[in-house]
Amino acid sequence: MTAAPRVVVHPSKQILADAAAARLVGAIVDAQAERGVAHVALTGGSMGSAIIASLAAVPGRLAIDPTRLHLWWGDERYLPAGDADRNDTQNDEAGLASFGIPAEHVHRVAGPDSSESPEASALAYGEAIREHGQGSWDVVLFGVGPDGHVASLFPHHPAQRITDAIAVAVHDSPKPPPDRVSLTFECFERSHQVWFLVSGADKAEAVAAALAPGADRWDVPAAGPRGSDATLWLVDADAASGIG
Ligand SMILES: O=C(O)[C@H](O)[C@@H](O)[C@H](O)[C@H](O)COP(=O)(O)O
């Protein structure tokens, strides 16, 4: 069973980031209380970094035990460690280091400096996820592209169709860089909570399309992932403007 999408509209991008960060503290604390260890999949894009920056400022963040928190990424651009265009670099710059999470709990996708190919990187990332044996993600965060993509699963891209792997190499991405590594829809299916963080009028059409009854993830990937406990669309008023 999955939870039907629920939309929460915030007046601005900053308030959206702050409210999502406060919500994330609660979700992590609850997951640690119920399951001991929390596993969260982060996202790139401006919202992915905005929630990290807001999280660094939430006083209640101290309720999280950083030694029982594991961070992963739903996708990564296949670029060398530290490249300014990597999702993890951008999240680092937003303040990730201030959380006190042990480095071995921050699970980065290998780039060309430490893997032979996107395929090898995807395989290794999938193995790392399997080794940690989490039955499911506690929270998966997604940004949404104007084309409706989530992670590096793009409309009508064959990588969407991979169902027998945890992570997949993505080539010929319509958005640069062309080579990426993404978790698969199948992997995202094992999520307690799925949250879409979306801001801006340029996303209004994608938000409306993803939430339309009968939306097909092949056309609008954001229509695909759902959590077993919650599927939340945390959006600002501009991004919500196309919802009927
Ligand atoms: O890998 C990428 O190219 C980005 O991470 C991308 O997927 C991003 O998450 C969305 O386009 C939403 O971006 P915003 O959060 O900036 O709206």
ipTM of the modeled complex: 0.96
Ligand 1 atom closest to the CA of 76, numbered from 1? 1
pLDDT in tens, 49-65: 999 999 999 989 999 99
Q: What is the pLDDT of residue 45?
A: 96
Residue 152 CA to residue 161 CA, distance in Å, equals 12
For the chain, the domains span: 5-242
Give the helix ranges, DSSP H, for 66-217.
Answer: 87-93, 118-132, 185-188, 204-211
Asked if residue 111 has its Cβ within 6 Å of ligand 1, the reply is no
φ/ψ of 104, rounded to 5, equals -75, -5
Confidence of residue 79 (pLDDT cuts 50, 70, 90): very high
196 forms beta bridges with 142, 233
pLDDT in tens, 159-182: 999 989 999 999 999 999 999 999
134 has a pLDDT exceeding 70 = no
Angstrom CA distances, 73 to 108, 109, 214, 216, stand at 7, 8, 28, 24
In percent, how much of the chain has pLDDT > 70?
A: 99
Mutating to test ligand 1, I would choose from 141, 175, 236 the residue with most ligand atoms within 8 A of its C-beta, which is 175
Q: What is the pLDDT of residue 59?
A: 85
Class at the top of the CATH hierarchy for domain 5-242: alpha beta
Residue 1 CA to residue 229 CA, distance in Å, equals 9
Mutating to test ligand 1, I would choose from 13, 47, 199, 235 the residue with most ligand atoms within 8 A of its C-beta, which is 47
